Amino acid sequence: MPWTPTLPPDLVPRSVRERHRGPYRAAVVPLIAQASPQVSAAASALAEEAAAEVARFDAEQAGGAAGPDDDDGGSGPLPFLLLRSESASSSQIEGLTSGARAIAVAELGGGATRNAELVLGNVRSMQAALALADDLTPDALLAMQRALLEASAPSIAGRWRTEQVWIGGDTYGPHGAEFVPPHHEDVPGLIDDLVAFSARGDVQVLVHAALAHAQFETVHPFADGNGRTGRALVHALLRRRGLARRVTVPVSAGLLTDVGGYFDALTAYRGGDVDPIVEVLARGALAAVVNGRQLAAELRAARARWDDVVVARRDSAAWRLADLLLRQPVVDSATIARELGISPANAARPLAPLVEAGVVRETTGRDRGRLWQADEVLAALDAFAARAGRRSSR
C-alpha cells in the first residue's frame, strides 16, 4: 500500500523519514466463515476439558453461591462481581490497572480515577456483549466498542477505523511494525465474514471462541479498544453457545498469568498455527474457574460470618443491605436508599447494625458525601486480582 505521512517533514528527523519512505505491506487476511479449523488432538482435548469445567462452574453458581439474589440466572452478587473482575482483568492486559475499591467508587458516579472509569467502560462493553450474544452482527460488535469508549473517546466510539493502524514500531508510520492489520477498506467485508463464522454451531465451543477472537484481533477493526472488545466477543460466544449462561467466567484473569504467551499465540495464529491460541484460551479458562471458585467461597464465608455477628431482626433492611454489599462493596446514602427502596434520610438505620458488627465502616470522615465499605468483600476481590497477577508481560 502507498504511504502518505501525516506529519510535516520538518517535524520528523531525517532518519525516521527515510525509514518510512515508500509503500508498506498490510496484512491480507484469509476468510474463515466456511473454514475447517485444523486443531491438533492435544489442543482439542484441552479445550474440551476446559469447556467441561466452565459448564460445571456455571451450573454451580445457579443456586446462589454468594447470596440469595443469585438464583435469578445471572444478576446476583457473584455473576456481577465476576463480570466486573473480568472487565478489570481485560483492562489490565492493556496496562490499565485499578483496585476493587476504586472501581466500586466509580460506580457510585463520583470521585473516580481515570483508570477506574475506563474499567467501567469495559463493564458496559461486557454487558452489551452478553445482551447481544444471541444476535451477533456487525452492529452488535459496534455496540460493544461504543459502550467501551463512548465516555472516554466518543469521536471513535461505535465506528470502524478509517485509517491504517499498526502494532509495534513507532508512531510515524507502519514500516517496521510488528504487525500491520489489513487496510481499513477491507474491514467491513472481513467483519461480515467473522460474523458468519461466529454464527456456526459445528465448531468445538472453546475452539470457536478462540479462533473468532484471534481473527477479530487480526482484523483490528477499530482505532482503539480492539483487545477489550475482542475479549468481550469471547464471552458473547460462550453465552450464545450455552456454555456460560449464568456467570461470566473471568478468562482474562487466566490470560494474565502469561500475557506474553497470549500475545505470542495471536502472532502464531496470524502465521497459520491455530493451536497456541486455543491452548492459551483453554488454560486461561481453567485458571479462571479455579480463581472464581475461590472468590465464591470467600464471599460465602464472609456472608456466613455476618449472619453470626450482625444483631438485627430477620425482616430488617440490614440483611438486604448485607446482600447488596456483596455486589456493591462501597455504598453511599443515595445507593442504599435506591436499592432498598427507602428514603435517604432513613439510610442510617440499616447501616447501624452492620457498622456496629464491623461489617462496614465509614471511610471519608465527612458529614456530607459519606461512603461506607465492606472490607472483607474488597479484600476478596483484590485477592482474586492478585491471584490472576502477571507472570510475564510484553
| Per-residue model confidence as pLDDT tens digits over 257-315 | 899 999 999 999 999 999 999 999 999 999 999 999 999 999 999 999 999 999 999 99
Count of CA atoms in the C-beta half-sphere (13 A) of 36: 0
Residue 318 to residue 352: CA distance in whole angstroms = 8
Residue 85 to residue 119: CA distance in whole angstroms = 9
| Amino acid identity, position 229 | T
Residue 138 to residue 122: CA distance in whole angstroms = 19
Asked whether this chain's domains 39-295 and 310-381 adopt the same fold, the reply is no
CB 37 within 8 A of CB 211: yes
Segments making up each domain of the chain, as ranges: 39-295, 310-381
pLDDT of amino acid 279: 98
pLDDT of amino acid 68: 38
Residue 137 to residue 190: CA distance in whole angstroms = 12
**Residue linked to cell 482483568:** 89
pLDDT of amino acid 63: 54
Sign of the CA dihedral 76, 286, 392, 260?
A: negative
**Residue linked to cell 436499592:** 339
pLDDT of amino acid 62: 67
CB 238 within 8 A of CB 209: yes
pLDDT of amino acid 339: 95
The CATH fold assigned to 39-295 is: Fic-like fold (1.10.3290)
The CATH fold assigned to 310-381 is: Arc Repressor Mutant, subunit A (1.10.10)
Q: Which residues of 96-113 are buried (b: 16+ CB within 10 A; e: fewer)?
A: bebbbbbbbbbbbeeebe
41-47: long-range contacts (C-beta < 8 A, 24 or more apart)? Answer: 42/275, 43/207, 43/274, 43/275, 43/278, 43/279, 43/282, 44/204, 44/207, 44/278, 46/278, 46/279, 46/282, 46/283, 47/204, 47/205, 47/206, 47/207, 47/210, 47/278, 47/279, 47/281, 47/282
H-helix segments, 20-113: 41-60, 77-93, 100-107
DSSP category for residue 285? H
pLDDT of amino acid 391: 52
Stretches where the chain sits below pLDDT 50 are 65-75, 392-394
Which residues, listed in sequence order, are joined to residue 331 by a DSSP beta bridge?
Answer: 372
Look at residue 310 and give its three-state secondary structure: coil
**Residue linked to cell 488454560:** 283
